[in-house]
Amino acid sequence: MSTPGHPQPRPPEGRTPRSRSRSGLALLAGVGIVALYLAGAAVSGRASILARRPLLDGLAPPTPYRWVSPPPDLAASNKPPASTRFTLELAPEGSQLGAFSTGDGQVNLVLSQGAVPPRSGQTGVEVTVDPVDPATLGPVPSGLVGAGNAYHIQAGYQPSGAKVAALGGQPSSGLVYPC
């Protein structure tokens, strides 16, 4: 309430008591979120700060590795690794972009657009991924250690079946190995 000759104080330009309460509420919410994050990070740790895992890293353990030729102590519970076949459509500029995985997720393959050049009379490219026992491929080079399966990846034009000699572009493959 103001008295004659003494006007009521006004809030700074653009700021009302209501906007101050909203900004205070936003600040309080932000501090609360940060506190919850830090509490979650502290709870997710183990014995030391170096043994902490990131939040949202997943709750389930990794799936067991599937061996072509498992070590004797894992043979009873081993499941065979998956193979896959997929077909890429051929366009006038070559094969289409494609990303594929085996059913067990142990091999991921990404082929860029045009990875396989066009060929007259051919409509597609069939790519196969098959697991191979690495022991059948010869000794591992000196200084290296073999871990897990080997995979045979090949491509052939369809319908002729003629083999694709090499992939162009920037093909990418990811192989999972046993832990």
- The per-residue pLDDT for 172 is 92
One-letter identity of residue 103: G
- The per-residue pLDDT for 46 is 47
Give pLDDT < 50 ranges for the chain: 46-47
pLDDT tens sequence across 7-23: 666 555 655 556 567 77
pLDDT tens sequence across 90-111: 999 999 899 999 999 999 999 9
Distance CA 48, CA 43 (A): 12
pTM of the model: 0.64
- Cβ neighbors of 37 (< 8 A, separation 6 or more) are 55
Tell me the HSE value of 142 on the side-chain side, using a 13 A CA sphere: 0
- The per-residue pLDDT for 146 is 84
User: Is residue 87 a contact partner of residue 158, using CB atoms and an 8 Å limit?
Assistant: yes
- The per-residue pLDDT for 47 is 46
- Cβ neighbors of 94 (< 8 A, separation 6 or more) are 113, 114, 115, 116, 117, 118, 168
Q: Of all residues in the chain, what percent carry a pLDDT higher than 90?
A: 54
Q: Which residues pair with 128 in a beta bridge?
A: 85, 154
Q: What are phi and psi of 59, to 5 degrees?
A: -105, -20
- The per-residue pLDDT for 175 is 92
Distance CA 177, CA 75 (A): 17
- The per-residue pLDDT for 34 is 85
